[in-house]
Amino acid sequence: MSETLDEYLGRWAGTDPLRQAVRATVTALASGTAAIAALVADGPLAGELAASRGVGADGWDDQKELDVRADEMLLGSLAGKPVAAYASEEAELPVPVTPGAPLIVAIDPLDGSSNIDTDVTIGTIFSVLPAPEGVDPVSEAAYFQPGRAQLAAGYAVYGPHTAFVLSVGEGTMHFVLDRAAGTYRLVKERVTIPTVAREFAINMSNHRHWDDRLRLYIDDLLQGKDGPREADYNMRWIASMVAEAHRIIIRGGIYLYPADTRAGYTQGRLRLIYEAFPIALLMEQSGAAATDGRTPILDLVPERLHQRVPLIFGSREKVERVSNYLTGPGEIAERAPLFGRRGLLTA
């Protein structure tokens, strides 16, 4: 049989103390996601998982029953592990776990929760960071580290099968849950995202709110083989970012969730620390890219725990092309001279 997640991490960690701490943390989180997968598989038999429990930590997003239960399960999985603090989308501030431990964790316990009641793929996204010296690990400031400081990042997707995609900084690995054995097994040790894929994911209902440069990029795709790209493209939109990321991991393409002119969206919508950072690490470690439209996501430094950011990720050539539309002069500016007087992705 193929190698288990813990066996793989044991081989990777060796006797290095920090790597051993990462191994213990990731395997604990994986155990938590396996428990969530079982809960998700029960659907309505497990109760009203899509029932509203109020709003999330930032007072904006609707919080579902499964959001809360997933958060509790993941936090519980880390009890006694080498994690000093746990920051979640579901809580305003980090909470302590194991005092003096060398790591901190940031997590979106249940991404895509608007899809819970429709049996569409949802998932968990996580980031593992070093506990910074001289900073209280349970403070927000402990998480104000650039994305390249991540020691590990990954996600689980709960679909027809449960996949666990992970990077510890040495490529991206793809595991699948062996339900009978209750463990994840390695199916691909070095993921390489395809460079050629004629798919893009964006919420077209927001077309009128976008910056003109971004709208031009999408309009060029929609013209297909009759337009400047001279090829037909398919659009996807699942409304579950982790599911979109997994599709790109498997078959390439590009995902765009830009900022726009609506209230609450002018600085982007997705969270930098526990959504954009981990996905960006997985993309770069798979030969792809992630940006806010100007800057690689992993080069950003957060200023708030629940900070939002525009997010574009996928096949490197496609991400670079979007960046050229958003920031480059030349033909694009000539086609729409007003661009010189407009903002880019952020207000």
Residues in binding site: 89, 108, 110-114, 203, 255-257, 275
Q: Which residues are catalytic?
A: 61, 67, 89-90, 108, 110-111, 275
- Dihedral angle over CA of 55, 58, 59, 65, nearest 10: 0
Q: Alpha-carbon dihedral of residues 234, 293, 122, 250, nearest 10 degrees?
A: 60
For residues 274 and 87, is the Cβ–Cβ distance under 8 A?
A: yes
CB 224 within 8 A of CB 204: no
Q: How far apart are CA 205 and CA 326, in angstroms?
A: 20
Note whether 342 and 211 are within 8 A (CB): yes
- Both structure tokens of 142: 């402990």
In angstroms, the CA 315 to CA 252 distance is: 6
Distance (Å, whole) CA 83 – CA 256: 33
Question: Contact at 8 Å (CB) between 132 and 52?
Answer: no
Contacts 24+ apart (CB under 8 A), 38-47: 39/66, 39/69, 39/70, 39/73, 40/66, 40/122, 40/158, 41/158, 43/119
DSSP 3-state of 58: coil
Residue 107 β-bridge partners: 88, 126
Q: Extract the annotated binding site for substrate.
A: 111-114, 203, 255-257
Which letter does DSSP use for residue 241 in this model? Answer: H
Helix or strand holding residue 184 (H, E):
strand 183-188
What are the angstrom distances between the C-alpha of 121 and each of 41, 48, 87, 113, 218?
Answer: 11, 17, 24, 9, 25
Bin 137: left if φ > 0, else alpha if -120 < ψ < 50, else beta: alpha
Instruction: Summarize the annotated binding site for Mg(2+) as residue ranges.
Output: 89, 108, 110-111, 275
